[in-house]
Chains A and B, each alone.
Chain A
Amino acid sequence: MSFLQFSNLTKTYPGVKALSGISFDVRKGAVHGLMGENGAGKSTLIRILSGDQHANEGEIRIDGDVQAYGSSRDAFEHGVIVIHQELQLVPELTVAENLYLGRFPAKAGVVASAKMFADVTEKLKNAGIDIDPRQKVKALSIGERQMVEIAKAVMLDARVIALDEPTSSLSSRESEILFTLIDRLRAEGKVILYVSHRLDEVFRLCDSLTVLRDGKLAAHHETLQGVTRDQIVAEMVGREINDIWGWRGREAGAVRLKVENVSGERLPEPASFDVRAGEIVGFFGLIGAGRSELMRLVFGADPQFSGATSIDGAQVKAGNPRQAIRSGIVLCSEDRKHDGILQGRSIEENINVSSRRHYSPFGLLDRKREVEVAETFIKRLKVRTPSRKQDIVNLSGGNQQKVILGRWLAEQGVKVLIVDEPTRGIDVGAKSEIYEILYELAESGMGIVVVSSELPEVMGICDRILVMCAGKIAAGLNRDQFEENAILAAALPDVKQPTEIAY
């Protein structure tokens, strides 16, 4: 019996047809997957379901009733809860307040704080999420914030729950918490729409699946029995991809990046590691393990308390990203919204912002060159956009991520490239393109650091993995030592004995 029905949904933005005539049904008590390339229209569909955007044509029915709500609040009152792709939290409020935002428990307008905190503590515990409800959200790491978002979905009583890439910066352990929660919800008979670029998850979780391509319905599977990964990939990207990782070996050269005893405010324990020329080093860990913070310290985004970083033997000035870039080290941050995109500026400007110093004589722009650079990376990374002049905030999440990556790939004279969750929200097709680029860069002698919460990814593309746990580098493994359980074990805080760091 179909409980949630989409019929003929169509949505256009200026210059973009985001959805055209999408129709499909979802059963009660089913987890329904939604997949598709970046910019295929998944988030748009979800945004329409949430009442945040309005379709140009078509309708949504829940339990047979046409939904004609005009805002997120209406949608909520109709039993629809949506967790959006971009984190939607208020940094200055506490975790509990964020969870209850829009529906505070109150008597005569006065918030019943004690009840609220008790309630949240209890529910977070039940859900297996370990976050202090009295903490302000601004003090949480990205991954922790994502867990807060997830808590939102399970805390409230809803008929339909839509999750837009909820695991994009979670490692498998935290994802597992989410999956347990989803299983529970499924058992309660809720309808769940689940957007993800991770195929494993889709197979682990979903009962049925819809694939979108270019805003159109590319495939609909009532059941996933007998459906193969390759088939879905082909439906999504219109071609076959045999091995997304496509790893190929190369000789590591001399040490390029040497990090010694670096510590900072959020990373009290000094950390040391190095990266050789032509080497791709992966950093794995659970959320809050301190990987991002370590990279920010190395790059100089945050002030260092101690330690030193050198590239090819030359000391890098600490605490100054500008100097770091000039000495050949760049960081593509995990938080694209806060640290990446220049709001209100075009794709072209977002790509050129750093690299243009190489082709701007006397501070004057070389507009031809800027267009060239922008077009090159739009093409190479398959950014889906009507024009390079498009405001970056109008792009889909994955496409924004590609533009930010493009900014750093366009940079010249890079010796060490650090990418933090580089494929966060990026589709399978584009992922393999990005890996290919990383290999090429490594082959040209660059040292590369990949921070990722996706274990298959680090295992798939790295030559060496460093595992971080509770702010310390807990283990190091060479490619021939890669083994899922060993890596996970090292990442877990209760395993006290660090394995011998390789080489």
Chain B
Amino acid sequence: PASAQDAKIGFIVKQPEEPWFQDEWKFADQAAKEKGFTLVKIGAEDGEKLMSAIDNLGAQGAQGFVVCTPDVKLGPGIVAKAAANNLKMMTVDDRLVDAAGKPLEDVPHMGISATKIGEAVGQGIVDEMKARGWKPEEVGAIRVSYDQLPTAVDRVEGAISVLKANGFKAENIFPAPQAKTDTEAALNAATVVLNAHAGIKKWVAFGLNDEAVLGAVRATESVGIPADGVIGVGIGGADSAINEFKKPTATGFVGTVIISPKRHGYETATNMYEWVANGKQPEKLTLTSGALAKRDTFQQVRKELGIE
């Protein structure tokens, strides 16, 4: 076991520019400061960069790392690479699977499944619809999709399953494929859907993340659908979502499912440190849960999740 001073732990994430991962890193840094170990943060957008990152950690003399992989199918490769570099590893957010698609149970993991988050979104929408007294058959749903990313598919499918279970008709769900994952692309894609179905006056929207749903909400505004005719629920609790809640008047962006970057960042880093420094193996599987934040509750939710 290494002492605190020379304990070095890597924290690799798949999309370093995303606020979510920035937060994870921030909380991992906090753990590093408290425990006195060195944290190495590396962004790895694809499999090749990830492999290089692990080599790089090995070269730097790190003892272990936490990783959110760009693709869960990389599982066996990552495990082999970590072993070759003699590094302990655990995963966060996305759980590794083997070639057959079964989770790699040996690798400690903390996270929440994409489908579960999607279901939380779906539930949020359904609840709001009930509160507003909407009937499912008069409502259109915009599925802002980015099918290139498996996680995105799992999330929207999760939401759709809840909608359907609550009486939503499949033919009222309209895909709006975004060419890129930014708000503008979602906006353009959603605008087309809205214009193609000008008869529908009530809309719900869901997608990969807050930005996607924001795009859909902006689209409803630009074609003149009032805020009380729109229910958009995002994922992530990013600042762009919080901004919506801070706007003087309510928009169609009703809520966002916030996952706690604090637990994912702080706890995984601490667990890894305990492992390399004190030989204490982390739990094989820790599941966290998301919480729906709305205009009136977001501050409280954030506090509960330890973000503020």
In the complex, is A directly touching B at CB under 8 Å?
A: no
Residues of A within 8 A of B (CB): none
Q: State the B residues within 8 Å of A (CB).
A: none
